[in-house]
């Protein structure tokens, strides 16, 4: 005997999609937070495959991109869809893809403002893997500091080279805010590739700079400086030294400016005071100490990117300090500096604290 067919009445206008954690209030969007790593990997993959460089030539169809990138069409289509969703790419009515304005400016390798290597190699290649160990580091199960990390020539080369282009642009902006008019000698402590020193030399024809950094980092920095087209590179030198060492091979009262960019957040907390004491010793009266780093506000509730960077530093500097301007200014004053100033550098991410030796 056949069973009767029951017909279900569909009620329209009374159904809603499964609600996610996204909301319009001040509460956290858990899904976007948890899935954010997928978007960053889409960006890194696009850089690795040259997607943005191909599209810099003009809008293209997925089939043309697939051939150029050497990726099967179905896989590339999935990547392109994710990049459109992330607003990295745009697709028009003719199914042609093009770069977004920011991607065209910053992620195309031929652009003067390009810093894709920094994302691809440093953030994606190094920090991404380290962040996967965050919980272990927080529990104290795995400890690795920057000096150990950079003792590996491959890591030192990748990190230093990747940061070079981005640092040149940041340095130019920094020295527009920090005058170099009276600076004859500059000490670039933990200066890596020498990008800040090179930019300073370009902006002041009388300035000579010395980079203090780890041996492997100096090796990479010298190589990058040799490749630089700027004649100013002859006024940039390197000295191999762990900047956290008690004594610097620098004559007392010989410098007009001591720069510490991206250094204080990368060393143990108890070393920061020593760094400032050393800077005070080598600076002339009227000389300035300039600290530029990833920092959160003194209230320690943001900004977001500054807070994320502080957290990343924990994975390679577990005894360090998540920096806020008050942490730097108080230690500067304790070392003898005065006239402390604070200003934003990279909006929402880095700040500058500047002080003068009486």
Q: What is the reported pTM?
A: 0.86
Please give the pLDDT value at position 351: 98
Closest of 116, 277, 279 to residue 190, by C-alpha: 279
Mean pLDDT of 129-148: 82
Beta-strand pair 338-344/350-356: antiparallel
Would you call 99 helix, strand, or coil by DSSP?
strand
C-alpha torsion angle, residues 312, 113, 186, 159 (rounded to 10): 40
Please give the pLDDT value at position 11: 54
Please give the pLDDT value at position 139: 93
Q: Judge contact between 277 and 335, C-beta under 8 A.
A: yes
Distance, CA of 107 to CA of 123 (rounded, Å): 14
- The DSSP code sequence of 273-286 is HHHHHHHHHHEEEE
Exposure string over 256-268, b if 16+ CB within 10 A, otherwise e? bbbbbbbbbbbbe
- Which residue would you say has higher pLDDT here, 18 or 275? 275
Please give the pLDDT value at position 16: 56
Mean pLDDT of 328-346: 98
Which pLDDT tens digit goes with each residue over 50-109? Answer: 999 999 999 999 999 999 999 999 999 999 999 999 999 999 999 999 999 999 999 999
Of the given ranges (151-165, 251-265, 294-308, 335-349), which has the lowest mean pLDDT?
A: 151-165
Please give the pLDDT value at position 247: 83
Please give the pLDDT value at position 331: 98
End-to-end CA distance of the chain: 102
Identify the top-confidence range among 119-128, 153-162, 187-196, 283-292: 283-292
The yes-or-no verdict on residue 173 having pLDDT over 90 is yes
Q: How many CA atoms lie within 13 A of 211 on its CB side?
A: 31
Of the given ranges (151-155, 187-191, 290-294, 341-345), which has the lowest mean pLDDT?
A: 151-155
Which pLDDT tens digit goes with each residue over 282-296? Answer: 999 999 999 999 999
How many other CB atoms are found less than 10 A from the CB of residue 80?
Answer: 21
Please give the pLDDT value at position 273: 96
- Which residue would you say has higher pLDDT here, 280 or 214? 280
Q: Judge contact between 190 and 275, C-beta under 8 A.
A: no
The yes-or-no verdict on residue 2 having pLDDT over 60 is no
The yes-or-no verdict on residue 184 having pLDDT over 90 is yes
Q: Judge contact between 284 and 251, C-beta under 8 A.
A: no
- Which residue would you say has higher pLDDT here, 56 or 225? 56
Which pLDDT tens digit goes with each residue over 24-49? Answer: 678 999 999 999 999 999 999 999 99
Q: Which residue segments constitute the domains of the chain, with CATH numbers given? A: 31-107 (1.10.10.10), 118-356 (3.40.50.150)
Which pLDDT tens digit goes with each residue over 230-245? Answer: 899 899 999 998 877 8
Mean pLDDT of 298-303: 96
Percentage of the chain beyond pLDDT 70 is 87
The yes-or-no verdict on residue 7 having pLDDT over 90 is no
Residue 160: in which H helix or E strand, if any? helix 153-177
- Which residue would you say has higher pLDDT here, 338 or 112? 338
C-alpha torsion angle, residues 74, 76, 81, 87 (rounded to 10): -170
The yes-or-no verdict on residue 145 having pLDDT over 70 is no
Question: Across the chain, what does the average pLDDT equal?
Answer: 90
Q: Judge contact between 200 and 172, C-beta under 8 A.
A: no
The yes-or-no verdict on residue 255 having pLDDT over 70 is yes
């Amino acid at each position: 005997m056949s069973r009767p067919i029951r017909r279900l009445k569909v009620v329209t206008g009374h159904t809603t999609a499964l609600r996610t954690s996204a909301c319009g209030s001040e509460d956290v969007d858990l899904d976007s937070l948890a899935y954010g790593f997928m978007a960053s990997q889409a960006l890194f993959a696009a850089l690795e495959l040259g997607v943005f460089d191909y599209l810099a030539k003009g809008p293209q169809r997925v089939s043309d991109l697939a051939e150029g990138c050497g990726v099967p069409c179905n896989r590339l289509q999935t990547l392109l869809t994710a990049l459109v969703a992330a607003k990295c790419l745009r697709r028009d009515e003719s199914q042609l893809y093009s770069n977004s304005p920011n991607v065209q400016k910053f992620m195309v390798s031929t652009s003067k403002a390009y810093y894709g290597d920094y994302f691809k190699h440093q953030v994606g290649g190094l920090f991404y893997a380290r962040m996967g160990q965050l919980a272990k580091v927080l529990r104290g199960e795995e400890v690795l500091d920057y000096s150990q990390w950079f003792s590996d020539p491959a890591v030192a080369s990748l990190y230093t080279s990747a940061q070079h282009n981005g640092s040149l642009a940041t340095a130019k902006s920094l020295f527009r805010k920090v005058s170099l008019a009276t600076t004859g000698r500059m000490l670039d402590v933990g200066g890596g590739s020498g990008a800040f020193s090179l930019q300073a030399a370009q902006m002041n024809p009388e300035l000579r700079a010395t980079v203090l950094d780890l041996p492997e980092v100096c090796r990479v920095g010298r190589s990058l400086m040799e490749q630089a087209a700027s004649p100013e590179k002859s006024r940039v030198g390197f000295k191999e030294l762990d900047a956290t060492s008690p004594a610097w091979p620098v004559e007392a009262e010989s410098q007009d400016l001591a720069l510490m960019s991206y250094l204080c957040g990368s060393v143990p907390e108890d070393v920061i005071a020593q760094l400032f004491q050393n800077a005070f010793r080598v600076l002339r009266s009227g000389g300035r100490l300039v600290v530029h780093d990833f920092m959160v506000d003194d209230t320690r509730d943001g900004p977001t990117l500054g807070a994320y960077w502080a957290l990343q530093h924990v994975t390679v500097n577990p005894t360090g300090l998540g920096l806020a301007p008050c942490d730097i200014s108080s230690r500067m004053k304790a070392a003898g500096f005065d006239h402390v100033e604070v200003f934003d550098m990279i909006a929402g991410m880095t700040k500058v604290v500047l002080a003068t030796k009486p």
